[in-house]
Structure 1
Amino acid sequence: MKQWHLLPGCYVLVFISLLSPTVASAADITQQLHRPLSSSSWQQSREKADTLLRIGEQQYALGFADKAVKSGLEALEIYHSIGDLRAQGMTYDLLGMSYIQLNRLKEGEDALRRRLVIARDTKDFQGQIFGLNNIGTLLLQKGETIAAGKTLEDALTIARHVKNIEGEGLSLSNLGLVAIRLGEYNKAIKLYETALIFRRQTRDPIGEANTLNNLGDAYLEARNYQDTIGTYGAALRIAQTSRDRPNQLRAIDGLVFAHSVVGRYQRAFDLLAQRLTIAQELQNLREELKSFESYAHLYEKLGNYPTARNFYERAIVLARTIEDNKTEVQLIDRLTQMLKR
């Protein structure tokens, strides 16, 4: 899977009280009101915007993309009013990734391209590298594989030119996604293995776990299940140590699938129990829904239809609760097909 990247130095300790900031009244980036501020209120406004941006980054990291958007929009309004172009770029990073996590791709692409323009205008090479990577991964998500590859190659060229090790690792890792999409699994494995060298040099546990998860995906596509399990397992250990919930959940998903394929069902159920616990601790209904759906698929595969039905029904309730109509319809269809057997 892809890695969306926030610029380094953006993360702070998580406080539960920070998860519900004042909601911005604007519904779209282009609808922000840019009120001029007096010099006496400039510092106070800047501190408020910085706090909102940090909160938004933590919310995104924890999987609360909707809250991250609200925090980001309010921060963006303030940064516009005080004329801080660099901070606007960082905020567009956050908004772009958050919109994409919510599957609002048009708004996400708009934010990411605005971020890239700012990076180019200010000759911010690191911003250009990460901006191009984010746009490249979005193009991949839209199915534009060739355009994505060209964008990511541009990012890699800049990273090598300015000797940005972190950017080089990120670009190589994301180019592995292009190779997988093209069915070039051995090439993808080599790209990920090279990317890991740079990830480890920068001591970036989140980046390393993400690339390991990508490498696990490549091994899975190549049907090398032994290396698949070992690689996802390494990603899971790193993510657990760094409390990196997104990569932890993703590694568990990969391990559940791989263990199921080789018939280690009890291990798959143990991992699913871990996944559900994490989702409930985060109070993240979307991840809880995914856990129920995985349980349902696994019980269905084992022919335990009554238990599978129970989990499908619980997943449907959650899909309805978070108003995910597409997933709700898919789950109902899957349940209907199973009950016809």
Structure 2
Amino acid sequence: MKQRHLLPGCYALVFIGLFSPTVARAADITQQLHRPANNSSRQQSREQADTLLRIGEQQSALGFADKAVTSGLEALEIYHAIGDLRAQGLTYDLLGMSYIQLNRLKEAEDALRRRLAIARDTKDFQGQIFGLNNLSTLLLRKGEPIPAGETLEEALTIARHVKNIEGEGLSLSNLGLVAIRQGEYNKAIKLYETALTFRRKTRDPIGEANTLNNLGDAYLEARDYQETIGTYGAALRIAQASRDRANQLRAIDGLVFSHSAVGRYQRAFDLLEQRLAIAQELQSFREELKSFESYAHLYEQLGNYETARNFYERAIVLARTLEDNKTEVQLIDRLTQMLKR
């Protein structure tokens, strides 16, 4: 779970599909829950649903949330038809987090609360822990840190009661996000450092890299650039070793900002070159756009307006390709303001 709260004056260091996306409303989920089962092909249906769920998880990890929703809704229909509650819960997790990525918060809340209800009905304690953590993501996105913190404290209590080390590490890490939102950076740092001990016990490189990136964010907010660079650097090394592209990109974004803040511009450019290569490897226009935007801002910082203009224009083209009107308008405005200097 991650949403950067930038320092005053900071710029946003901007942060394959197998099925065609469709637009699904919250009501679509309910409608699909009442379609009749085809008992003659139960096993075949389960295998198909399992495949759809795996594909959806891969699509979500690569940033294709719209496609993940499509896959998840198809899987959900099948799981309901065969009466598999546990699989329904996992699918609601996928749908909820994908809807959050798409900023479709009403649908996200519907999915996540359904997931949590299933976990409670089936006395699935791990499902409750992760369901509560995902719900806290939504509450933070809605700007409600106090309810998010209460939700995470409940998750942490359950994790400690059942001695779920993975859940304890996740809950502590996410409580660090709540502390950051409330401006309590030292508290956040302590929470992340404690969370890291649990992450390492479970030998979860993705979780460890995520918590390190969160810790880097906390040091950044506290303007401790030495610790910031070291922490993001550790996250980057772990993410590279596990080919965790999402945390690689997060770590690079943090490092680019930190190095440029202390005048190490060549190192920032080297990292941006890595970032663009990853975006192109993923064939992700969205990540390419973010890379071009970061290049543009860095050249603008250095007063090289001609090169900055070139990167802004390349980013604008990609925003139009993605039909992202909001980003396109923001980029045009920043380019216009720069050219007035």
TM band (smaller chain)? over 0.9
CA contact (8 A) 2:236 2:248 kept: yes
CA gap of 1:213–1:122, structure 2 versus 1, over 3 A, is same
Counterpart position of 1:181? 181
CA gap of 1:33–1:158, structure 2 versus 1, over 3 A, is closer
CA contact (8 A) 2:295 2:311 kept: yes
CA contact (8 A) 2:213 2:247 kept: yes
CA gap of 1:31–1:304, structure 2 versus 1, over 3 A, is farther
CA deviation profile, 1:178-234 (whole Å, cap 9, x unmatched): 111111111111100000000000000000000000000011111111110000000
CA gap of 1:21–1:313, structure 2 versus 1, over 3 A, is same
CA contact (8 A) 1:21 1:52 kept: no
Counterpart position of 1:194? 194
What amino acid is the match of 2:303? G
Counterpart position of 2:286? 286
More displaced stretch, 168-177 vs 29-38: 29-38
CA distance in 1 between partners of 2:317 and 2:159 (Å): 46
CA distance in 2 between partners of 1:98 and 1:274 (Å): 26
Counterpart position of 1:20? 18
CA distance in 2 between partners of 1:36 and 1:179 (Å): 46
Counterpart position of 2:135? 135
What amino acid is the match of 1:132? L
Are positions 1:266 and 2:266 aligned together? yes
SS in 1 for 2:97: helix
Are positions 1:254 and 2:254 aligned together? yes
| Offset at residue 30 of structure 1 (A) | 3.1
Are positions 1:74 and 2:74 aligned together? yes
What amino acid is the match of 2:316? I
| Offset at residue 96 of structure 1 (A) | 0.8
Which consecutive unaligned segments of at least 5 residues does structure 2 have? 4-15
SS in 2 for 1:143: coil
CA contact (8 A) 2:57 2:68 kept: yes
CA distance in 2 between partners of 1:220 and 1:339 (Å): 30
**Identity, % of aligned positions:** 87
CA deviation profile, 1:98-154 (whole Å, cap 9, x unmatched): 111122222112111111111111111111111111111211111111111111111
| Offset at residue 31 of structure 1 (A) | 3.8
**Which structure ranks higher in relative contact order (CA pairs < 8 Å, sequence separation ≥ 6)?**
2
CA distance in 1 between partners of 2:149 and 2:218 (Å): 17
| Offset at residue 83 of structure 1 (A) | 1.2
Counterpart position of 2:9? none
CA distance in 1 between partners of 2:38 and 2:278 (Å): 45
CA deviation profile, 1:287-339 (whole Å, cap 9, x unmatched): 11111111111111111111111111111111111111111111111111111
Equivalent residues in 2 for 1:299-314 (5 A)? 299-314=299-314
CA distance in 1 between partners of 2:226 and 2:24 (Å): 50
| Offset at residue 25 of structure 1 (A) | 8.6
What amino acid is the match of 1:221? E
CA distance in 2 between partners of 1:244 and 1:283 (Å): 15
Equivalent residues in 2 for 1:54-73 (5 A)? 54-73=54-73
CA contact (8 A) 1:26 1:32 kept: no
SS in 2 for 1:63: coil
Equivalent residues in 2 for 1:234-249 (5 A)? 234-249=234-249
TM-score normalized by the length of structure 1: 0.93
Are positions 1:217 and 2:203 aligned together? no
More displaced stretch, 75-84 vs 169-178: 75-84
SS in 2 for 1:223: coil
What amino acid is the match of 1:316? I
CA gap of 1:325–1:213, structure 2 versus 1, over 3 A, is same
Counterpart position of 1:7? none
| Offset at residue 43 of structure 1 (A) | 0.6
CA distance in 2 between partners of 1:20 and 1:34 (Å): 26
What amino acid is the match of 1:222? A
What amino acid is the match of 1:164? N
| Offset at residue 60 of structure 1 (A) | 1.0
Counterpart position of 1:330? 330
SS in 2 for 1:303: coil
TM-score normalized by the length of structure 2: 0.93
| Offset at residue 33 of structure 1 (A) | 6.3
Aligned residue pairs, count: 327
CA distance in 1 between partners of 2:279 and 2:105 (Å): 25
| Offset at residue 23 of structure 1 (A) | 6.1
CA distance in 1 between partners of 2:79 and 2:55 (Å): 15
CA distance in 2 between partners of 1:308 and 1:22 (Å): 35
CA contact (8 A) 1:23 1:74 kept: no
More displaced stretch, 256-265 vs 181-190: 181-190
Counterpart position of 1:86? 86
- Quote the RMSD (CA, aligned, Å): 1.5
